[in-house]
Structure 1
Amino acid sequence: MNNDPVLSAFAVRQAEHAWANQHGGQTWPLMVRASESFVRHFFPCLRQGDRPNPLLEVVIVVGRGNNGGDGYYIGKLLLDAGINVCLVAPLGAPKIGVDAERAAQSFHQAGGVVLSELPAVLNHTRQSIPESGSEVVVIDALFGSGLSNPLSAECIALIQHINSQFSTIYSVDVPSGLHADTGQAMPVAVNARATHSFIAWKPGLLTGDGPAYSGQLSLDNLGIASNGSWFRNTDVALPNRFGNTHKSKHGEVRVVGGHQNMAGAALIATQAALNAGAGRVYLHCDPRYFAASVSHSPEIMLLDHIDFHDRQSIWVVGPGLGRDLHADQVMKQFICPDHHLAPWRGVLDADALRYIARVPQFNAGNCVLTPHEGEAADLLGWSIDCVQQDRAAAALALSVKFQTVVVLKGAGTLVCEGERLIFCHTGTPAMATAGMGDCLAGVIGALMAQGLSAFDAAICGVNWHASLGAILANTQRVVLASDIIAKLKYQYKA
């Protein structure tokens, strides 16, 4: 995993301008570096042994801005290397006076020809009549990180045509049509097999629709150092277990839930906490489920009452708690604590989140909140669409409102504390199954019990949980929470 900074599109432009001010006021060298980096990264895919693949055609689709400029200069470099290149500028020539204009001149000087329509590439040129066994690779350099408005009908049709006609697409910096800050398609985006980005990770590559459109991600910072409080997959090691130890040194977790017909959620959280290394794990649930719980995990301790004075344990409250009078009575004890005692520590998930959404000015303190988009919408008073349209903004708003660590689950899970925002996008669509969030809550609770801070436990738990899911997805179409739980016991390295 990496500790690379994540910057908004505006912050990336600021970094570019700051670099230029220190290097003669020119950004052209950065375009050259970016293009060289892109070719260096993908050139092995374009070769046949130690020479260019004669049966390969590279189609570069460029826009009028500097992302298109990268495309022109990439085309120039590929022509110099003997690659068969066809460049298409469906939106017209580059804007006058920008680096892209200079890049286009370099492409023409290298002998390149620019076409204006993509269909012509497929039907009417020498390069587009592939020989038997030939392959077409598309390099997408239409729009970069500056795209902020919805695409025109012409551009929507163009991107849909690219996606439908080509299976191997490499995107320059950001898949065209993807909002670099939010990860939203505007409303369509190029479906890239891989994306090579520059200077810093963009938020939209790592959350929302971004992971689905971006494919395999790579980054070159082009020698520009960038600072900020947003990062991709910050490393946090699992707690050590060594020496003269015993279960009491690894903390206690108490899971509160499993009411009526929802015992499974609480049992999943409990088993996850146990397998993630907590020394003792208690399940507070409806007694009718005691026998089933013991049959699944005899190591779990079962209680039908709650000691609300216990401040030594880590509490995981909400999985299968329900939303009836019983749940209200339980939650009142947590939101109206005895001020003579230390604050609660733990995780609030699922039904607990729905409850605190109705409590004005609730300060979560030392409890990690783990909402999905629907729960986040309730907590903020936003619509679900609003949360999904800018997941980073939602995570930041939740952390500020509740003054605590927030894990906003979903495609590209976010962990936030104050202004610190971590993008954890290791997961996979195969994990979109029931109980996965309950499992994560148990894992985070166990890591807190073993001594990690709430923020570190959230980061470590999300990465661990997602990485195991990704490994399982290599051989499974669907990954269940119980699959993750089974793997938690084994040795893991980030």
Structure 2
Amino acid sequence: MLPTTTSQSLPEQLYLSSTVREREREAVNALNIEMFELMQRAGQAVFDVIDQRYSHCRHILVVTGKGNNGGDGYVIARLAMQSGYTVSLWQFGDHHQLSGDANRAKQLYLDAGGIIESPKESLNENIELIVDGILGTGITGSVRPNAQEVIELINQSELPVVAIDTPSGLNTDTGKILGCAIRAEITVTFIAMKLGTVTGQARRCTGEILFAGLGVDNVFIEQNLPTALLTNEKWLKSLKTRDADSHKGSHGKLLIVGGDDGMSGAVYFASAAALRSGAGLGAVVCHPSSANPIRSLLPEAMVADQTKLSARLGWCSAICVGVGLGRDAWGGAVYKQVEEHVSINKQIPIVIDADGLSWLAKSNENTRPSGNIIITPHPGEAAMLLDCTISEVEADRFHAAKALCLKYQCITVLKGAGTLVCDGENTVVCHAGNAGMATGGTGDVLAGVITSLLGQGYTPMHAATLGTLIHSLAADDNAEQFGQVGMLASDLLPSIRRLINQR
């Protein structure tokens, strides 16, 4: 039995699906393995998952297409039959058109007593598990109507689905659903991790991703440079340890700017997260009406109004601007003062978040801050910054993140399912996080964590990457204890502290 690894130990390297398709043969040839043997291994890996996770499901439906995924499906169906499962197999498209290894796998299935059926309008009521091998990683255009009918029938059944390599209908380069896609409970992916399976809309249809290297993954990685990287919890080990004689000035002096009238909560979340992430000193500049609420919630922060902004800008080692800043005259004046200071003092790192992004989008290209800049937009803010639609951003999040880096000369943290961190050349995808984070204030917490790491001396890319990972893992930690629904931004704070100290 070939081992498969769980989502907690997925490879860090991410590749375009075209790279995997075009270069896998080189890795196979280097190891003197036949491509049909690779298909056998892929089918065995998926069947092993079925036998380990779904042995109680005695009637399996395998839905195959005409490509290599279809050949994998025939291998899985044969192995299941030989292990005592009842197997139904639907061939999407004419099975007489199968060729090469896929046709060879089909023939072995038939020789073992298997039967090939065409897709039906309804499912046998005895079916307990579905294996999806309809469409592979090569699809780029919209799913055709006949395939869409089968995909929708499978999704409507609400039966557990195991997807072969990728859920059918997913663009494995961008993470976009191409009209419709299988919603799998588990996706078993092969040889190398595909870029588009870990971010955006992909997160709603891949389910748990299991990886099967099929014995060629190490050689493939040696031969091919990745397009991006996937975070790993082990990266937290790069967090700095504290010297025994350190003091509060040793760990950063942070300035959080925002909190217009009625929006003190955003500044509180960012400031509290910054301090819980290890910042030594934290100062807040906010609207006068927000000062007392912040003082009462976080007495550890030094709170003042905008009259003290100039002094605090000269004092701090890192800045966060935009959390609850507002879009009226007060917010605009405060943002402009911060922008002018950073434009002159380019060495000071700054995180621009929330309403700060609105002011950034309106700013003059010649006066924008440059240097150690991190922006943290959600898809709506990214669309505003790029003057495009949210749909265009989500259609290719990798392209959008790089475009933001280029336009604003910054590091971009494009939030969402599978948050991206990009410096224009290198991209990291955060593997952690959950839907419970879709609540007000969690973005402010993220901005605070990143700013804290900047103030403690981490490089902007390192701070953005580690901050995003810590933030998402904290949400997973909280969800594991209490569930996703009802999670509040403030719930993340204790988990952030615990994660940083348990590295």
TM-score (norm 2): 0.89
Give me the whole-angstrom Cα distance separating, in 2, the residues matched to 1:312 and 1:282.
8
Name the SS for the 1:87 alignment partner. Answer: strand
Q: What aligned pairs does 1:71-470 form with structure 2 within 5 A after superposition?
A: 71-93=73-95, 95-119=97-121, 122=124, 130=126, 136-222=128-214, 223-224=216-217, 225-226=220-221, 227-234=225-232, 235-237=235-237, 238-304=239-305, 305-307=308-310, 310=314, 312-337=316-341, 341-359=345-363, 360=365, 362=368, 364-470=370-476
Deviation digits for residues 291-320 of structure 1 (CA, Å, limit 9, x no counterpart): 211211111111222126527521001001
Measured after TM superposition, the shift of residue 352 of structure 1 is 1.2
Which one of 476, 479, 483 corresponds to residue 487 of structure 2?
Answer: 479
> Is the 2:270–2:445 Cα contact (8 Å) retained in structure 1?
yes
Which segment is superposed worse, 219-228 or 442-451?
Answer: 219-228
> Is the 2:28–2:35 Cα contact (8 Å) retained in structure 1?
yes
Question: Which aligned segments of 4 or more residues in structure 1 are displaced greater than 6 angstroms?
Answer: none
Which segment is superposed worse, 200-209 or 302-311?
Answer: 302-311
Which segment is superposed worse, 420-429 or 232-241?
Answer: 232-241
Give me the whole-angstrom Cα distance separating, in 2, the residues matched to 1:385 and 1:202.
21
Name the SS for the 1:149 alignment partner. Answer: coil
> Is the 1:65–1:95 Cα contact (8 Å) retained in structure 2?
no
User: CA separation of 1:364/1:85 partners in 2, compared to 1, >3 Å: closer, same or farther?
Assistant: farther
Measured after TM superposition, the shift of residue 435 of structure 1 is 1.0
Equivalent pairs counted in the alignment come to 478
Amino acid at match of 2:362: R
Q: Which residue of 1 aligns with 2:3?
A: none
Amino acid at match of 2:89: L
Q: Which residue of 2 aligns with 1:27?
A: 35
Measured after TM superposition, the shift of residue 342 of structure 1 is 4.4
Contiguous gaps of at least 5 residues in structure 1: 48-52, 123-127
Name the SS for the 2:326 alignment partner. Answer: coil
Kindly, what percent of the aligned residue pairs are identical? 33
> Is the 2:92–2:134 Cα contact (8 Å) retained in structure 1?
no
Q: What aligned pairs does 1:44-55 form with structure 2 within 5 A after superposition?
A: 44-47=52-55
Q: Which residue of 2 aligns with 1:490?
A: 498
Amino acid at match of 1:358: K
User: CA separation of 1:120/1:167 partners in 2, compared to 1, >3 Å: closer, same or farther?
Assistant: closer
> Is the 1:255–1:270 Cα contact (8 Å) retained in structure 2?
yes
User: CA separation of 1:393/1:311 partners in 2, compared to 1, >3 Å: closer, same or farther?
Assistant: farther
Amino acid at match of 1:439: V
Deviation digits for residues 109-145 of structure 1 (CA, Å, limit 9, x no counterpart): 22211111234761xxxxx6x4xxxx61111111111
Amino acid at match of 1:35: G
Deviation digits for residues 134-169 of structure 1 (CA, Å, limit 9, x no counterpart): x61111111111111111222112111111124211
Measured after TM superposition, the shift of residue 254 of structure 1 is 0.4
Which segment is superposed worse, 186-195 or 112-121?
Answer: 112-121
Amino acid at match of 1:72: Y
> Is the 2:253–2:315 Cα contact (8 Å) retained in structure 1?
no
Could you say what the CA RMSD is over the residues aligned between the two structures, in angstroms? 2.2
Give me the whole-angstrom Cα distance separating, in 2, the residues matched to 1:288 and 1:339.
29
Name the SS for the 2:309 alignment partner. Answer: coil
Deviation digits for residues 21-48 of structure 1 (CA, Å, limit 9, x no counterpart): 546695323222211222223321243x
Name the SS for the 1:410 alignment partner. Answer: coil
User: CA separation of 1:83/1:291 partners in 2, compared to 1, >3 Å: closer, same or farther?
Assistant: same
Give me the whole-angstrom Cα distance separating, in 2, the residues matched to 1:121 and 1:487.
45
Give me the whole-angstrom Cα distance separating, in 1, the residues matched to 2:386 and 2:472.
26
Which segment is superposed worse, 168-177 or 199-208?
Answer: 199-208
Higher helix share: 2
> Is the 1:86–1:121 Cα contact (8 Å) retained in structure 2?
no
Give me the whole-angstrom Cα distance separating, in 2, the residues matched to 1:358 and 1:78.
60
Give me the whole-angstrom Cα distance separating, in 1, the residues matched to 2:15 and 2:136.
14
Contiguous gaps of at least 5 residues in structure 2: 1-7
Give me the whole-angstrom Cα distance separating, in 2, the residues matched to 1:68 and 1:172.
9
> Is the 2:66–2:92 Cα contact (8 Å) retained in structure 1?
no
Amino acid at match of 1:18: E
Amino acid at match of 2:268: L
Q: Which residue of 2 aligns with 1:125?
A: none
Measured after TM superposition, the shift of residue 440 of structure 1 is 0.4
Q: Which residue of 2 aligns with 1:14?
A: 22
Name the SS for the 2:283 alignment partner. Answer: strand
TM-score (norm 1): 0.91
Amino acid at match of 1:344: I
Measured after TM superposition, the shift of residue 268 of structure 1 is 1.3
Give me the whole-angstrom Cα distance separating, in 1, the residues matched to 2:191 and 2:315.
45
Deviation digits for residues 320-359 of structure 1 (CA, Å, limit 9, x no counterpart): 1112223222222333347764433121101111111123
> Is the 2:423–2:461 Cα contact (8 Å) retained in structure 1?
yes
Give me the whole-angstrom Cα distance separating, in 1, the residues matched to 2:287 and 2:274.
19
Give me the whole-angstrom Cα distance separating, in 2, the residues matched to 1:490 and 1:20.
44
Which segment is superposed worse, 147-156 or 220-229?
Answer: 220-229
